[in-house]
Amino acid sequence: MLIAFNKPYGVLCQFTDRSVPPRPTLAGFGLPTGVYPAGRLDFDSEGLLLLTDDGRLAHRLTDPAHKLPKTYWVQVEGTPTDAQLQQLRTGVVLNDGPTRPARARLLAAPALWPRDPPVRFRKTVPDAWLELVITEGRNRQVRRMTAAVGLPTLRLVRMAVGPHALQGLAPGQWRALEGD
């Protein structure tokens, strides 16, 4: 079984939380029993999370050796220059080593659901949207990459993992996918 889930902002990618008070988890969304996340999506990130009950499929979806592209729409603080986009395209050196080259392009502000809480707005600081496609999945990688080129992330939404995309799922909604 393979499930596409639109993880809302502020939800943990696990089914339990021992913190006090507990934070929202996947348990609150009526997902089928026996499925587990294939990969992670940060608490403060939104969008496509794949869940499966098949360990081999989960490995194939998450193992960097398979170089499965992950597509993100990223709202950044500032106006990206050609040089900053080129840095993302050639790979960025992070504290845990250089990243693989990414596909990066400017994106018109997408029609997304409102985020709760909203992204901070500052009249004196412009923002822009990027589409960033990476083929690895390090901890907070997209946020660290944009920060490394001088474009701090304000909002991060994963739109696709390989051939699997959100395709109109509202936050908190899920659907079963065909095949793998």
Phi, psi at residue 131, to the nearest 5°?
Answer: -105, 125
Residues 4/33, Cβ–Cβ less than 8 Å:
no
Catalytic residue among 17, 42, 44, 53: 42
- In order of 25, 107, 109, 119, 156, the CA distances from 150 in angstroms are 32, 18, 20, 18, 16
The number of beta carbons lying within 10 Å of the beta carbon of residue 87 is: 20
**Is 42 designated active site?**
yes
Integer-rounded Cα Rg, in Å, for the chain is 16
Residues 5/29, Cβ–Cβ less than 8 Å:
yes
**Bridge partners of residue 93, in order along the sequence:** 98
Q: Over the range 16-47, which residues count as b (16 or more CB within 10 Å of their CB) and which as e?
A: eeeeeeeeeebeebebeeebebbbbbbeebbb
Residues 8/118, Cβ–Cβ less than 8 Å:
no
By three-state DSSP, how is residue 104 classified?
strand
Catalytic residue set: 42
